[in-house]
Amino acid sequence: MAGIAPHMAIFGIAGRRALALYLKVTGLVMLMFLIIAWAIDLAQNLDGVLARADELGRSGGGVLALYLGFRTVDIVTRLFPVACFIGLFAAELYRLFNRETTILAAAGWSPRQTLAVVAVFAGLSGALQGTLERWGRPAAVFAQAELQLGAYGARFARGAMSGTHWLVVNGNALRARVVRSDSPELRDVELYRGVVSGDLRDVLVARKAQPTGRPGFWRLYDVDLWASLPAAETGSDERDAPRPDAYAEHPLYLISRYETLDVRLDVLADTLTYFGIPAFYLPQQPLERLAGDGNPLKGADVDAALWRRIAAFFLPGAYALLGASLAPIAGSGRVVSPGRIVGLALCGYFALVATKVSWAMGEIGALSGFTSSWIAVVFALVGTLVAQIVLSRPH
């Protein structure tokens, strides 16, 4: 033991054993989370999944296994950073109980060498989390939607959505039913042009609208144009400035009808293809298109989702560093304070709550996408630094 060299911290026997322990304990924690989540999910969706298997003419067991596979990807993406914190915290407590850390410290092993091993774990866990956030979960979620399985199958399924929706586009108010598909369309369209500025010029009523292929233009079908009569016919003064309530004082008349009519609507097709779906579920390429400057309907959740996918490569590692740094504070050797363990575990819970709250604030625009995505990583790293300062003090 006395011959342990700093450069062997990661690849030596002690380093490899510690890394293997981190991976094993984190895997066990994640498996525990999965079993609990599966039980809750199947209690709600098992009957629906088996019924859907009958509709598809496929084996119930096969569809159930496929469904659980998709759900596993989603659950791991959500809970893996927390599993990293608990796993590293529990692994370091285990080493503390077995006096492994005490013996290694006597042989010259420093806390920084332990952090070097944790950094390797952070790189592996970050690669997994980033892959899941960026590609794995979107693919799993929309596979469920395609097969109409579980909650995602009901919420994100393609086809006509129930009810009508309002959009504000190019200074106009648009009311329509949305059809989600790779070639989306609007049905029962009502376009109130000029109403946003308080000067309603006319209303276009159409059976449906589809993208024309030209950016920013949509083709309306079976169109009725409703507008006020010219000022000379209504006896009004053309010099009168429009008032916000003017459209309520002057009735609209059917002026003309068109079989088709191309109008300017700055609505990206992807906006309707994924209408009503939270941005962090979207596949990467559509998400990047929705984040572009050419999307006037871009919401705060789009930028937040993009930054969140970048931060995902660092979040599990930051949590792992925090867990590994907090555990040694619980005591030394076999003298461990239960109160300290509970208090330190609550620190990890606070980090989890801070993460969820900051993500939610980013999605509603209360925080910028950058801030909401990185604040949890910063908190975890600051906590790690504070813990290392505490550990470096002479006892």
Mean pLDDT along residues 379-389 = 87
Distance CA 235, CA 160 (A): 44
Of 109-118, 183-192, 312-321, 363-372, the range with the lowest mean pLDDT is: 109-118
297 against 345, higher pLDDT = 297
The two tokens of residue 360 are: 């939610």
pLDDT of residue 215: 86
Which of 37-46, 58-67, 112-121, 305-314 comes out lowest in average pLDDT?
Answer: 112-121
| 385 or 234, greater pLDDT | 385
Residues 248-272 pLDDT 10s: 556 888 899 999 999 999 999 999 9
Q: What is the pLDDT of residues 107-155, one digit of tens each?
A: 667 667 778 899 999 999 999 999 999 999 999 999 999 999 999 998 9
Q: Are 306 and 287 contacting, i.e. CB atoms less than 8 angstroms apart?
A: yes
DSSP letter at 163?
S
Q: Which two tokens stand for residue 73?
A: 């990807």
Q: What is the pLDDT of residue 4?
A: 47
Q: What is the percentage of the chain residues whose pLDDT exceeds 70?
A: 87
Question: What are φ and ψ of residue 283, in 5° steps?
Answer: -60, 155
pLDDT tens profile 7-36: 445 567 777 888 999 999 999 999 999 999
pLDDT digits (tens, 9 = 90+) for 274-328: 999 999 999 999 999 999 888 888 989 999 999 999 999 999 999 999 998 888 8
Confidence of residue 334 (pLDDT cuts 50, 70, 90): low
Average confidence (pLDDT) over 330-356: 74
CB under 8 Å to 128, separation ≥6 — which residues? Answer: 80, 316
Tell me which long-range contacts 272-278 makes (C-beta under 8 A, separation of at least 24).
Answer: 272/178, 272/179, 272/180, 272/184, 272/185, 272/186, 273/180, 273/181, 273/182, 273/184, 274/180, 275/161, 275/165, 275/178, 275/180, 275/184, 276/161, 276/178, 276/180, 277/155, 277/156, 278/305, 278/363
| β 335-336/217-227 pair status | unpaired
| CA distance linking residue 219 with residue 263, whole number of Å | 6
Q: Is the pLDDT of residue 104 over 70?
A: no
| Tens-place pLDDT, residues 211-242 | 998 888 999 999 999 998 765 455 445 444 44
Mean of the per-residue pLDDT values of the chain: 87
The pLDDT assigned to 177 comes to: 96
